[in-house]
Amino acid sequence: MSSRSALLALLCVSVAALAACTSEPGDLAEPTPSGVARAAEPAPTRADATPSPTPSPEPTAPSVEDVLAALAPSLGPSVAVDTYVPDPAHARDSYPVHYDQKCHQDIDGDSPWRCTFGDEDSATQILLVGDSHAAHWSSGLAQAAADEGWQLQVSSKTACPVLDQLVWIRARDGAYESCLAWGEAVVERILADPPDLVVTSLSGEYDVVTDGVKVPAGDEADAALRAALERTWGRLRDAGVPLVVVQDTPWLAQELGDCLEDHLTDPAACDSPAEEALAASGQANIAAAAEATGTPVIDLTPWLCTDEICPAVVDGMLVMRDEHHVTAEYSRSLAPVLGAAIEAVLAADLG
């Protein structure tokens, strides 16, 4: 069964969906009550002896929301294991796979470099672009590309979302001009040679620059950020470039590696309250811009948090390498989920 066929089968997990996917109209007759004989059917007349067959309804491709709901895990508090991956003492070194290829732009660079993973000759070309909150999904997407037979290209830059709004770079305490130039170069390259799908993500909150003045993250900055996302995503949409955004990750109040080093036998002590971590992430900005532009969202929050907590450890893996970046190991573990979600978006676009 192909990946897309497998995705269609996910819609048939309920009785109602199964009937819709497998039954001809009229196949499901009313049951005869026990002990009661069914009345004889009237003999067909000449006019209705050979009724025209009713075509079966075409199965509907599952939405990305359907796919994620079907695959959603059941997380709980962190559980101690003999060996954590990565080692908590070196959690900060669990960088995205493309960092090793030196193609993640630093603060000063503005060239839209790309790294390539998966099948370089594939007819399906996926492009991941964005800041470090897009970059940390490159490990999982690279594995998905290998599994699904895609070509994946990655272009990312430190603390730099792809949008037409000047932001503030806290590390330099100044306007991030190279980010604005890089983002425009990325968009121009996409428009000149569109892939089959652009995947993006970003840290949901930024300080922005308006009329040369820094506007700290907050309501005014959020409004500017949302407007810029709507313009940039709308520009791609209007050019016919398919786009999907991965929802932002939670922001924790502590570094997991440091906490786990002190709580190796009680890792649940390092779990974070979900409400606080998700509120700090700025997910609302992404959700609002996605709704305004009709952009599908891959929301991996169920793999990061329950309603109550964001566990530090899942299946022996550290979820985050610091307060807000996913470890390469945990990103790779979600390759099947990312692959299924991307295939759903591709199927919907082809449909």
Which residues contact residue 89 at a Cβ distance below 8 angstroms, ignoring those fewer than 6 apart? 257, 261
Q: How far is CA 246 from CA 22, 86, 134, 142, in A?
A: 33, 24, 8, 15
Res 58: pLDDT = 58
Calpha distance 51→96 (Å, rounded): 61
Cα diameter, the chain? 86
Q: Which phi and psi angles does 117 have, rounded to 5°?
A: -135, 165
> Token pair of 171, please?
């590390």
Helix (H) and strand (E) counts in the chain: 12, 15
SS3 assignment, position 340: helix
Question: What pTM did the predictor assign?
Answer: 0.84
Q: How far is CA 348 from CA 25, 143, 149, in A?
A: 25, 22, 18
∠ CA 75-136-204, nearest 5°, is: 85
SS3 assignment, position 325: coil
The torsion region of residue 311 among left (phi > 0), alpha (psi -120 to 50) and beta comes to beta
Cβ count near 7 (within 10 Å): 24
Res 179: pLDDT = 98
> Chain-wide mean pLDDT for the chain?
87
> Token pair of 224, please?
């500017």
SS3 assignment, position 273: strand
Q: What is the pLDDT of residues 66-117, one digit of tens each?
A: 999 999 999 999 999 999 999 999 999 999 999 988 789 999 999 998 999 9
pLDDT for 14 beyond 60? no
Res 51: pLDDT = 55
Instruction: Please tell me which of 19-23, 44-48, 55-59, 170-174 the model is most confident about, judged by mean pLDDT.
Output: 170-174
